[in-house]
A and B are shown apart, each in its own frame.
Chain A
Amino acid sequence: MHLKRFIILAAMAASICAVTATAGRGQDYPSKTVTVIVPFAAGGNTDAFGRLVAEQLDKRLGQRFIVENKPGAGGNVGLGELARAEPDGYTIGMGTVSSNAINQNLFKTLPYDKAKGFAPLSLIARMPNVLVVNPEKMPVNSVQELIELLKKEPGKHTYASSGVGTSIHLAGELLATKTGVKITHVPYKGSSQAIMDVVAGHIDFMFDNIPTAAQQVKAGKLRALAVTSLDKASLLPDVPTMDSVIPGFEATSWHGIFAPPGTPPEIVEKLSQAVQAILHEPAMKEKIEGMGATPVGSTSEEFATFIKGETEKWAEVIKAANVPLQ
């Protein structure tokens, strides 16, 4: 009798162990609701990508993926929150070029451990910026002509940005450091006010995210000189790349998905593969391209290497341009 009871107990214990062990290995992950932190306000690009991917993860993995917007301090508030979350795969988060490659070089203090970083899952999409000028104030038709004009009249011309340390600002700094021109940076809070002042002619030029700028270009309010990606952009197929004039000029904004540092590799792999598969679906590709972005869907290793390169690149630009630490 005792032996029988013992065997039953042992079997039960073993099965419980087995269950917890497989749970640890991510076999039955996810078994409850997953939170996706978006470190920016609702309605922006990062929010849109986050929601698109969360909706598909929902379908693919059979659990609810709920988006939570935790905006503030250029993404730092949300990332701080992600870093503090339990690394069990039930909290993941979005990140961008500014929150995950620029802020590290820009802020004196971060609400998370810079050295530990995050576990990259996959790069969702890249979005080129486009160099636009006010056609009335800047009688130039190409990047070369712009550079000539800027060299002839140093310090006379202004460019707008969506804030200090944004990819839009740093694209301008990259132009200044690569060509040696002297231009005045005029920062705004967000890009809509900035592009409005370029359209109105209060500011001479700016780099801006492609979708909004492309509409102004089509309406003849702005002239597009070049895109900042290495390939031409689908929304502006006739516009050359910056790279073709200034070799090595690349300044795209990108959006990716991350897990907290220390998340088990099995869970990272499972999520990463799911995101990759989602981004290779034609319907999804079409949706992202419609937003003016290029869908990517990289592996977590590729994404990690990519972030490393980006972080180093922007660190150099920030140093060369003397952007003050925050």
Chain B
Amino acid sequence: MDIFSDLWLGAATAFQPVNLAYGFIGCLLGTAIGVLPGLGPTATIAMLLPITFGLQPEAALIMLAGIFYGAQYGGSTTAILINLPGESSSVVTAIDGYQMARRGRAGAALATAALGSFFAGSVATLLLAVAAPPLAAVALEFGPAEYFSLMVLGLVASVALASGSLLKAFAMIVFGLLLGSVGTDVESGVPRYVFGISQLYDGLNFVAVSMGIFGLCEILRNLENEHERSVGVRKVTGLMLTRDDLRRIRGPVLRGTALGSLLGVLPGGGAMLSSFAAYALEKRVSPNRAEFGKGAIEGVAAPEAANNAGAQTSFIPMLTLGIPGNPVMALMVGAMIIQGITPGPNVISEEPALFWGMIVSMWSGNLMLVILNLPLIGLWVRMLTIPYHLLFPAIIGFCCIGAYSINNSVFDVFIMSGFSVVGFALFKLRFEPAPLLLGFILGPMLEENLRRAMLISQGDPTIFVRSPLSLSLLVVAVLVLGLVLAPSINRKRNEAFTE
């Protein structure tokens, strides 16, 4: 088998002491930074990029990759502990993870996230090694029409993120879509809702909005009803998973891994969609459906597995085609170009040691992360025992620096503050914020791909049903919509009957 000699070559590169060391530094930095609110992998890699200029290409890329998936691990920590998702993929983890923490099960939630991510990461890395080129071909099948249909499916599925009124969840999605339209219109170049502010030309920043709506808003809610010194978090019970937990997360992790691996391949939003999709799927198939939104362990396991699998497979378009699928990958391409390697379809044949070394290092990196993170869980959980009146000012402090670091501009700090007000008002009116954020993320992609498809088809809307791929996605979307609406219609009917 060819693959074994390739993997052997990769192992020879990845397991060189110096590369292992840089991989470890990357994972460590990534975790540390992922834990700090607001500092996502993009900002971190951007800040640390110059440091890698002096390194060997392999070491540089292994370290940057380590930061990337280390930050994925770290990001879920803040989502679970303080309801502060540092990046789009952990918005979903926050829903049930934070509820678990409030019920004293922060340890179990963190362990689920770490183990689920490790499993998903390992499987996705294997997939990357065996099937990168065919998967890349799938990614190329997705043109504007197919992306539009995929986004529609994602939006329909996102209604499942809400546990309350469907109508209000739809309202939040549309509000999110509207917020996503702030900034320069990609097709015409006309600025929308920018009020002459240069910083708004690129739209509202996700991290700033999310830190306002989730993080600061949570602090406002906690301070409102400050009855005890440590707010809302019950006594921590059992750091590790029980046998029952393990049984419950097996299915979700497997399904999450499958979904994440497939969606992650799609550049531009695939990996983001995967955690939402995995959560929506679990909420439908899980026997513990009623627990979702109140601290279901499945609601942590599935999206965490999906987002980590997606993070690994999102390397596929970059490594096989030389085309970065997300901002982090674009930074990696930048790093490669400075190193004198131009990523392209020939990287596998021209730089086999680099390609296979990176793949093997992803696996060893995931292993390091799980070893690094499991003992840390005890430490994180102990953090929750810090009196809240000392914890929340620190959270606000880190949020402010985090928001500043996005674009090295205080503008995003103001946006964060503004959206804490929006988030709090929405909470008072009992609107749930998760569908809003999903709408906000998907909105620009939905609109761009819709209009791009219409440009290509010269205004002919049948383009969305002519492509078999797009058609089947739309059919699935309609089915999902039916499934989502059916129970509530049934319930209404039952209510009417009982009256």
Q: Which residues of A contact B (CB under 8 A)?
A: 41-44, 47-48, 51, 67-74, 76-77, 80, 106, 109, 111, 155, 158, 163-165, 184, 186-190, 192-193, 195-197, 199-200, 202-203, 211-212, 214-216, 218-219, 221, 290-292, 323-324, 326
Contacts and interface: CB of A to CB of B under 8 A. Distances in A.
B334 A47 contact: yes
B330 A186 contact: no
Given A72-B407, A212-B344, 18 more contacts: A48-B338, A51-B53, A74-B201, A76-B201, A77-B409, A80-B198, A106-B189, A164-B187, A164-B188, A184-B458, A187-B186, A193-B323, A215-B346, A216-B344, A221-B321, A290-B340, A291-B337, A323-B189
Interface stretch (B137-145, B230-238, B483-491): B137-145
Nearest to A194: B323
Interface of B: 45-47, 49-50, 53, 139-144, 184, 186-191, 196, 198-199, 201-202, 267-268, 317, 321-325, 327, 330-331, 333-335, 337-338, 340, 342-346, 407-409, 448, 452, 455-456, 458
18 contacts: A48-B337, A70-B408, A71-B202, A77-B201, A184-B455, A190-B330, A192-B267, A193-B267, A196-B140, A196-B321, A202-B143, A211-B337, A212-B343, A215-B322, A215-B346, A216-B344, A221-B321, A290-B340
B198 A219 contact: no
Contacts of A43: 45-46, 49, 330-331, 333-335
Contacts of A192: 267, 323-325, 330, 333
Q: B142, B196, B317, B337: which has the most chain A beta carbons within 10 Å?
A: B337
Contact of A326 (B142, B191, B338, B456): B191
Contacts of B53: 51
A214 B343 CA distance: 10
Contact of B186 (A67, A72, A163, A200): A163
The A interface is mostly helix, strand or loop, or mixed, namely mixed
Contacts of B338: 48, 291
A81 to B, nearest CB: 9
Contacts of A211: 337, 342
Nearest to A203: B456
Given A215-B345, A221-B345, A67 B50 contact: yes
Contacts of B448: 188-189
A216 B322 contact: yes
Given A44-B334, A202-B143, A186 B452 contact: yes
Given A80-B198, A187-B189, A216-B344, A69 B46 contact: yes
A215 B321 CA distance: 9
Contact of A42 (B47, B140, B337): B47
Nearest to A323: B189
A186 B189 CA distance: 12
A158 B455 contact: yes
B454 to A, nearest CB: 10
Contacts of A184: 455-456, 458
B189 A324 contact: yes
Contacts of A216: 322, 344-345
B189 A326 contact: yes
Nearest to A165: B189
Contacts of A214: 342, 344
Given A158-B455, A212-B322, A215-B342, A200 B143 contact: yes
B268 A193 contact: yes
Contacts of B408: 68-70
Contacts of A190: 330
Contacts of B268: 193
B140 A200 contact: yes
Contact of B267 (A196, A221, A290): A196
Contacts of A71: 202, 407
A222 to B, nearest CB: 10
B324 A42 contact: no
A117 B427 CA distance: 48
Contacts of B455: 158, 184, 186
B113 to A, nearest CB: 28
B344 A215 contact: yes
B354 to A, nearest CB: 14
B246 to A, nearest CB: 41
Nearest to B328: A43
Per CB-CB distance, the 4 closest pairs between chain A and chain B, nearest first, are A215-B344, A164-B189, A43-B334, A219-B345
A27 B200 CA distance: 41
A56 B142 CA distance: 44
A212 B342 contact: yes
B70 to A, nearest CB: 18
A41 B144 CA distance: 26
A218 B317 contact: no
B189 A163 contact: yes
